Structure 1
Amino acid sequence: MAKNSGGADLLQTVDQVTEEAINIAYRFDQKLQRWRQGRAVQRGDIPTMLAFDGYGSPRYVRALGRVLLKTRSLIEDIDDAAESIRGWRSFTSVPFAFAHVNVWLGEHEFHLVADKGGVIDVDLKVSMTPGVHTIYMQAEGSEVTEAKVTVVSDEQHLGVVCDVDDTVMVTALPRPMLAAWNSFVANEHARIPTPGMSTMMDRLRRSHPHAPFLYLSTGAWNVAPTLRRFLTRNAYPAGALLLTDWGPTTERWFRSGSQHKVQNLQRLARNFPHVRWILIGDDGQHDPQIYSGFAQRHPDSVAAIVIRNLSPTEAVLAAGTRASEGHHVTVPEGTLWIEANDGASISDQLKDAGLL
């Protein structure tokens, strides 16, 4: 009994030490960010507002953006869309924590405050007609920037949610290296589109012209401009990017990518109860489990689950397992499940199911 008690005490001690270490890392990260922001302000860095495409319903709109502090040399390197920062240069821009932001959408005006990462991610209560609208954002001291917001009609019953890494673009990198690649790679020209996926997505867009397209990724917000240019360059349908933040939290060393996806899917089910989603991902990590779990909780919100099968090499790099080991998931009876390793084969199955 004493031996078992000693083991329990040891585990409790390990848990306490781990928890304290995480809290220390979180506090250090917050102090570092405050120091970086203070230095940026002292040297005269300029507030820059990045407005990202959003989506919504006739009753609310999800506004997405980010405020950064940039040196004048970086401002001069920004493209006409006021958002293109190449590779490692994105990390020389400091997030403007808790920046005050003015937002204009139609006849509505809002005054918002960014989070500690400079991110604006807010549901705004509005009254809007279905269609594409322009949203304007301005941080104190920045230029006004704009983005598009797709307002989904209550009569629209189909939408598309798509993963990014290894789904629309080939990474072929071990997951520990993926974050560095996404952050420091030179530009979108170095990224390789997944064969046939843009054509498949475009066919979905043409078959369902009013369907919202959302790109749900565990990528960090600092890569949003590069990802958007990649999607545009490779003819993927326009849509909002739903990204996340890095760094420690009060509970984890790093933010959970799976939790980020689950929470966003829950948000969609809650805000669009009339929409059934085509969920597109890959079998390199957790998409099959995340999507099947969502289908079990919200069977009426899923039109199809589409999984791109990685090659054996891609699978080993992505998850450390062979593709043949597979994923064991359970979905509600009647849920359409599609698997293939390229967009053309997926298109054929979507067509057979009447979705194309």
Structure 2
Amino acid sequence: METVQLPFIPKQNRGLKDRIKHNFLTWLRLTDQPVVKIYRGFGNESMLTVHGSMFRRSALSRKKYRTSIFLNLFGLIRLFLVRPYPHATIRVYAGGQTIETQTDLDGYFRVAVSLNQPLPSGWHVVRTQCVRRTKTSETIVAESEGQVLVPHPTTFACISDIDDTFLVSHSARLLKRLRVLLTRNAHTRQPFDGVVAHYKLLAEANNRAGETNPFFYVSSSEWNLYDYILEFSKKHGLPEGVYLLSPLKQLRDVLKTGQGKHMTKFARIVRILEAYPQQRFILLGDDTQEDPTIYASVVRHFLPQIRCVYIRQVHGKNQLKTREILAEIQEKGVPCCYFAHSAEARQHSVDSGLVA
């Protein structure tokens, strides 16, 4: 993904204060140039969902990943020094359509683009521009390109949590979670043993060559961590997919990262299910927070669409409650697998006929 920005003001034309500020932000690897960022979106035969964030200040892409605790701490903190651009005018070009919208107070925007004719399955490029208007002129403040997925008609689709589902995060233990988050980076964090093999098996199951079961990653982690999570997923070979995260947080809230309102996660899952009413889904989560409760609600409201539920055992104190919730789900005819190791989940996928 590339972002095109307005040119920097030449150094000789800047005041001393602006030069000091620019040099300080450059040292921090931040930019105070306006940036519009598109997150991976999704669509069907009649509509595309395009979404992203507009920033007044944002973090530059990380180029090197080292084991230094200081650099990793600094690298994470930068992601929470962003400054959103509220009430910005965003122009979206997608599916042959042009739509304008406004960012919210967090600088976030989301538009539904109606299609005049269906797009072929696969990833499609979309463009956005941030536009500033006066009575006599219009200026493009920033622009960028992103991708939207129109899934192939496959056997099933997967909706997966992130923290403690495939990424070791210690979500139930705040101090340990923060130590891992603050001292490691996207290359030194680790997935659970066997989880990548299981996800690849699910992605490639029972489909024609070149077609994969789509993955949607839905998490309480914030959009601040989008590139971080994307880099981790790429590094470890997880199936490419669409990511739906939680609203941006500022530096003052960094200690609360991943602790958002979990029921907004339910709403994001509902958007996916409603976009593909004929598709069946596998839900993957863990027992550290609210995944079992959220997935039980999903099953109650969308029973015909849910093929199976997988919950990873991470937090011992929640096991009894989780087993009760999963028993209720199974009573509705939806198979569940409550597993400690990914090898168990993979074997369940084979034994239950999900994969050949």
Which TM class, normalised by the smaller chain length?
Answer: 0.7 to 0.9
- Per the alignment, residue 133 of structure 1 pairs with 124
Residues 203-232 of structure 1, C-alpha deviations (whole Å, 9 max, x = no match):
111114342210000011111110111111
Q: Specify every segment of 5 or more residues in structure 1 that has no aligned partner in the other structure, as ranges.
A: 1-39
Code of the aligned partner of 2:335: L
Code of the aligned partner of 2:92: V
Give, in whole Å, the separation in 1 of the partners of 2:349 and 2:101. Answer: 41
Residues 216-252 of structure 1, C-alpha deviations (whole Å, 9 max, x = no match):
000111111101111111101111111112679xxxx
Give, in whole Å, the separation in 2 of the partners of 1:186 and 1:350. Answer: 32
- Asked whether the 8 Å contact 2:169–2:180 carries over to 1, the reply is no
Q: Do residues 328 (structure 1) and 327 (structure 2) align?
A: no
- Per the alignment, residue 295 of structure 1 pairs with 299
Give, in whole Å, the separation in 1 of the partners of 2:285 and 2:172. Answer: 17
- Asked whether the 8 Å contact 1:218–1:243 carries over to 2, the reply is yes
Shift of 1:161: 0.1
- Asked whether the 8 Å contact 1:103–1:138 carries over to 2, the reply is yes
Shift of 1:87: 1.0
Secondary structure (helix, strand or coil) at the match of 1:281 reads strand
- Per the alignment, residue 31 of structure 1 pairs with none
Code of the aligned partner of 1:122: V
Cα pair distance change 1:111/1:258, threshold 3 Å: same
Cα pair distance change 1:280/1:118, threshold 3 Å: same
- Asked whether the 8 Å contact 1:54–1:239 carries over to 2, the reply is no
Residues 271-305 of structure 1, C-alpha deviations (whole Å, 9 max, x = no match):
21101110000111221121122112211010100
| Structure with a larger share of its residues in helix | 1
- Per the alignment, residue 263 of structure 1 pairs with 267
Give, in whole Å, the separation in 2 of the partners of 1:177 and 1:96. Answer: 32
Code of the aligned partner of 1:138: Q
Question: What TM-score, normalized to structure 1?
Answer: 0.74
Give, in whole Å, the separation in 2 of the partners of 1:174 and 1:322. Answer: 10
Residues 167-217 of structure 1, C-alpha deviations (whole Å, 9 max, x = no match):
111112545458856875553123211111111111111114342210000
- Asked whether the 8 Å contact 2:94–2:113 carries over to 1, the reply is no
Q: Do residues 228 (structure 1) and 263 (structure 2) align?
A: no
- Per the alignment, residue 312 of structure 2 pairs with 308
Secondary structure (helix, strand or coil) at the match of 2:204 reads helix
Shift of 1:260: 1.3
Secondary structure (helix, strand or coil) at the match of 2:200 reads helix
The aligned runs of 1:34-113 (5 Å cut-off) are 45-70=32-57, 74-75=59-60, 86-113=75-102
**Count of matched residue pairs:** 297
- Per the alignment, residue 146 of structure 1 pairs with 145
Code of the aligned partner of 2:90: V
Q: Specify every segment of 5 or more residues in structure 2 that has no aligned partner in the other structure, as ranges.
A: 1-17, 23-31, 65-73, 132-139, 251-255
Question: What TM-score, normalized to structure 2?
Answer: 0.74
Code of the aligned partner of 1:239: G
- Per the alignment, residue 273 of structure 1 pairs with 277
Identify the range of structure 1 (128-137 vs 195-204) with the bigger mean alpha-carbon deviation.
Answer: 128-137
